[in-house]
Amino acid sequence: MGKRVYNFSAGPAMLPLEVLEASAKALVDYQGKGYGIAEISHRSKDFDAVMDETKSRARSLMGIPDGYDIVFSQGGASQLFITIPWNFLQGSADYVVTGEWAKKAAEAAKPYGTVNVLASSESTGFDRIPTGWKPSANASYFHICTNNTIYGTRWSTMPEHPVLFADMSSEFMARVVDVKKFALIYGGAQKNLGPSGVCMSIVRKDLYAKINKSVPKLFNYQVLAEQDSRINTPPTFGIYMLLETYRWIEKQGGIKAIEARNEEKAKLIYDAIDRAPDFYKGTVSDIPNRSRMNITFRLPNEALTDKFIKEAEKQGMTALKGYRTVGGIRASTYNAMPVEGCVALAKHMDEFHAANRT
């Protein structure tokens, strides 16, 4: 195998080599049984064991209490933008819009009831977490996106609400959260947890009483939970890769250790930005809420941006181009990105600044 690059892709994203190698081995021959993990029935004893261990390790890592179910589903978080209000929106729901995906979540909920957009930072280019809002009195739930992959903000402190829903796609298991403060946590796997095509939801069981009767069984959270995420064939190999990722996170020392490493990684790059404010312009004005997963900044012009990206690629750093509608640079530093990758990027930033400043 050739040398692996430092892959700063925002998703599907870099995964730990150990996870890829273990999953590749299981894909060809699962535990020496002569068949691969993707070749077995989702109702077999082998897959029963995979599902049980995956959920058990998730509960242990995140401290998920007994009053919550873990549900795996096909698709991505964008699909859950529809499924969630279909299940739980009765009358109205509150949303705070902090980026493109939070905005899409709010739009997707509109066919199912009244969507109260309590606040949005769109008018300032999603450069901050908006303040000064108040939850509605009778809303079914309050929805946030905890981290914004495109614009580089995050909720450093989670809001308090009795029915708090959170899209954590881009920071699932990247920092310690108190699950008890949420009614629903969900996200696509393709940032920190595994491959695209599988979603994980953590659902407080009292929500099931709210489920709209129009929801078919295939999309009904209670039915999915009762049938162990296997009302139909789930993305079995994707779930197996989650298991290997959870094993890897445990070996790293758990989520607390992962969070400390993520803080160190982000600081390396933010310090490089802050060392050259005349050259690198961070796109987030709300400094306390700068993302630890997606670090966004601009150079003085497009020519320098292109040159920066090409020179980084020659040094083994890929996927640094900003989101297609935003431009600039985006460095996604998910759990699998080693500290060495961020050291390399910060060094490149310092050297590029020294060579190209006017």
Q: Which residues contact 204 (CB under 8 A, 6 or more apart)?
A: 67, 68, 182, 183, 184
Pairing mode, if any, of strands 114-120 and 142-145? unpaired
Cβ atoms of residues 315 and 344 within 8 Å: yes
Of the listed 55, 94, 101, 228, which one is catalytic?
101
Top CATH class of 17-251 equals alpha beta
Cα–Cα distance, 320 to 7 (Å, whole number) = 8
The residue behind tokens 């590029």 is: 352
Among residues 333, 289, 319, 9, the alpha carbon closest in space to that of 174 is found at 333
Of the listed 69, 94, 127, 167, which one is catalytic?
167
pLDDT tens by residue, the chain, 358 residues: 568 999 999 999 999 999 999 999 999 999 999 999 999 999 999 999 999 999 999 999 999 999 999 999 999 999 999 999 999 999 999 999 999 999 999 999 999 999 999 999 999 999 999 999 999 999 999 999 999 999 999 999 999 999 999 999 999 999 999 999 999 999 999 999 999 999 999 999 999 999 999 999 999 999 999 999 999 999 999 999 999 999 999 999 999 999 999 999 999 999 999 999 999 999 999 999 999 999 999 999 999 999 999 999 999 999 999 988 788 999 999 999 999 999 999 999 999 999 998 7
Residue 310, classified by CB atoms within 10 Å of its CB into exposed (0-12), middle (13-18) or buried (19+), is exposed
Quick one: pLDDT at residue 343?
Answer: 98
Cα–Cα distance, 290 to 151 (Å, whole number) = 9
Q: Where in the chain is the domain with CATH 3.40.640.10?
A: 17-251
Dig out the tokens for 345 from the structure: 């990027």
Q: Is 167 a catalytic residue?
A: yes
- The phi and psi torsions of 104 (rounded to 5 degrees) equal -65, -35
Of the listed 86, 94, 127, 191, which one is catalytic?
191
Cα–Cα distance, 194 to 117 (Å, whole number) = 31
Cβ atoms of residues 200 and 193 within 8 Å: yes
Cβ atoms of residues 201 and 80 within 8 Å: yes
Max distance between CA atoms of the chain, in angstroms, equals 66
DSSP 8-state secondary structure symbol assigned to residue 3 = P
Among residues 277, 276, 336, 328, the alpha carbon closest in space to that of 304 is found at 328
Cβ atoms of residues 55 and 229 within 8 Å: no
Dig out the tokens for 240 from the structure: 């197996």
Quick one: pLDDT at residue 326?
Answer: 84
Q: Is 127 a catalytic residue?
A: no
Rg of the chain, C-alpha, whole Å: 21
Q: Please give the CATH topology (third level) of the domain spanning 254-356.
A: Aspartate Aminotransferase, domain 1 (3.90.1150)
For the segment 190-203, what is each residue's pLDDT rounded down to a tens digit?
Answer: 999 999 999 999 99
Q: Where in the chain is the domain with CATH 3.90.1150.10?
A: 254-356
The residues facing 138 across adjacent strands are none
Quick one: pLDDT at residue 358?
Answer: 76
CA distance to 25, 242, 342, per residue, from 20 (Å): 9, 11, 21
Q: Is 321 a catalytic residue?
A: no
Q: Order of strands across the sheet with 114-120? A: 68-74, 198-204, 184-188, 164-167, 142-145, 92-97, 114-120
Pairs from 190-193 (Cβ < 8 Å, separation ≥ 24): 190/11, 190/12, 190/13, 190/76, 191/10, 191/11, 191/13, 191/149, 191/293, 191/332, 191/334, 192/13, 192/245, 192/293, 192/334, 192/335, 192/336, 193/242, 193/245
